[in-house]
């Protein structure tokens, strides 16, 4: 089984010095690639956002392509940019009641308070800057790398990352619950300042923040699951800065044959070390640039 290393020992150099990772492909049948069509069914309207198409799969769908990297990130990726995580001792859910600001029925019950909460988060995100971990991931832009994030702060895109799937939406978006349109708003937008009406269907009081609340569907989850199920033994999946309390990663990664990495500040009961090939605990700004170096070398030789 893989190695659990406390940060400080450089696992990436250790890993590079090890005999080549046995390419499990020899023992494992390739998983048939699962192509997820981008959502072309949505009738596009001016400045309307469709759910980001899974275009990277165009490359991922061809079984003879080289190794691919799936990165799955959470709030820990942005912690060193000054943004609160959710479940750490100083996390958001220690200061705010999740039931009042992050559930679909709480939004229906008290739209102004919910908009005020996300207006505040949008303003804080607007002042934050991508850190070294965001920039390191952005430096991997290419058809072989997809970055999935649970974060809604837009910092990966601010760092220049392209193939980003925002599983839980983005703070600089609003969404209409009547016609399901989504649209961008400025980072300083204050949705709580005036009654919201959908610019597409004009229905009033049905506009919510463009982030996924508990209790409502997450449209990108199916495509995300297919990305994991399409991973092959020569690919890699890296989980960074998440407690794993919301995405069922233990289940999703159970049969994944790719090289599995966990880079996290602290252990999490929802992400036991023995489900990964390599586990490194430490700060994302230290670990992610190292991981990126490892991937550059590994992906050339795999
Ligand atoms: N570097 C790396 N990891 C870090 C750092 C850091 N500097 N700081 C914190 N972490 C790790 C913590 O150890 C923890 O495991 O980040 C993780 C944060 O976990 P959560 O606060 O639960 O955040 P996350 O996993 O992203 O939450 C998932 O829950 O409430 C919902 O929608 C919300 O997207 C969010 C989802």
Catalytic residues: 168
- For residue 60, the model assigns a pLDDT of 63
pLDDT value at 54 more than 50: no
Closest C-alpha to ligand 1, atom 8:
76
Q: Which residue has the higher pLDDT, 9 or 65?
A: 65
Q: Are 140 and 69 in contact (CB under 8 A)?
A: yes
Can you give the pLDDT at residue 157? 95
Q: Which atom of ligand 1 is least distant from the CA of 86? A: 21
Does residue 76 carry a pLDDT above 90? yes
Which distant-in-sequence residues (6+ apart) come within 8 Å of 180 by Cβ? none
Condensed to tens digits (0 to 9), the pLDDT of residues 152-183 reads 999 999 999 998 999 999 999 999 999 888 88
Q: Are 92 and 86 in contact (CB under 8 A)?
A: yes
Q: Which protein residues are within 6 Å of ligand 1, measured from CB?
A: 74-76, 79-80, 85-88, 91, 150, 168, 241-243, 245-246, 264-266, 268, 283-284
Among 147, 209, 265, 280, say which to mutate for ligand 1: greatest number of ligand atoms within 8 Å of CB: 265
Mean pLDDT over each residue of the chain, to the nearest integer: 82
Quick one: average pLDDT of 51-75? 70
pTM, entire model: 0.85
Check whether 16 has a pLDDT greater than 70. Answer: no
């Amino acid at each position: 089984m893989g190695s659990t290393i406390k940060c400080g020992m450089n696992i990436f150099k250790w890993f590079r010095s090890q005999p080549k990772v046995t390419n499990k492909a020899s023992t494992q049948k390739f998983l048939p690639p699962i192509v997820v069509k981008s959502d072309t069914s949505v009738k596009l309207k001016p400045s309307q956002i469709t759910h980001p198409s899974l275009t990277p799969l165009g490359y991922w769908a061809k079984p003879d392509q080289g190794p691919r990297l799936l990165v799955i990130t959470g709030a820990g990726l942005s912690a060193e940019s000054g943004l609160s995580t959710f479940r750490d001792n100083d996390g958001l859910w220690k200061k705010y009641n999740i039931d009042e600001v992050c559930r679909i029925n709480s939004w229906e019950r008290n739209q102004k308070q919910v908009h005020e909460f996300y207006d505040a988060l949008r303003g804080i995100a607007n002042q934050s800057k991508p850190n070294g971990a965001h920039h390191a991931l952005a430096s991997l832009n290419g058809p072989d790398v997809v970055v999935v994030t649970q974060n809604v702060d837009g910092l990966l895109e601010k760092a220049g990352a392209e193939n980003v799937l925002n599983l839980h939406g983005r703070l600089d978006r609003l969404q209409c619950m009547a016609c399901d349109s989504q649209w961008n708003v400025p980072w300083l937008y204050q949705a709580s300042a005036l009654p919201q009406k959908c610019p597409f269907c004009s229905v009033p009081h049905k506009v919510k923040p463009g982030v996924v609340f508990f209790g409502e569907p997450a449209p990108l989850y199916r495509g995300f699951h297919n990305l994991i199920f399409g991973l092959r033994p020569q690919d890699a999946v890296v989980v960074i800065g998440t407690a794993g309390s919301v995405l069922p990663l233990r289940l999703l990664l159970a049969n994944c044959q790719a090289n599995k990495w966990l880079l996290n500040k602290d252990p999490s009961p929802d992400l036991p070390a023995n489900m990964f090939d390599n586990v490194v605990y430490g700060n994302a700004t230290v670990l992610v640039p190292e991981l990126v170096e490892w991937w550059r070398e590994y992906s050339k030789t795999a």
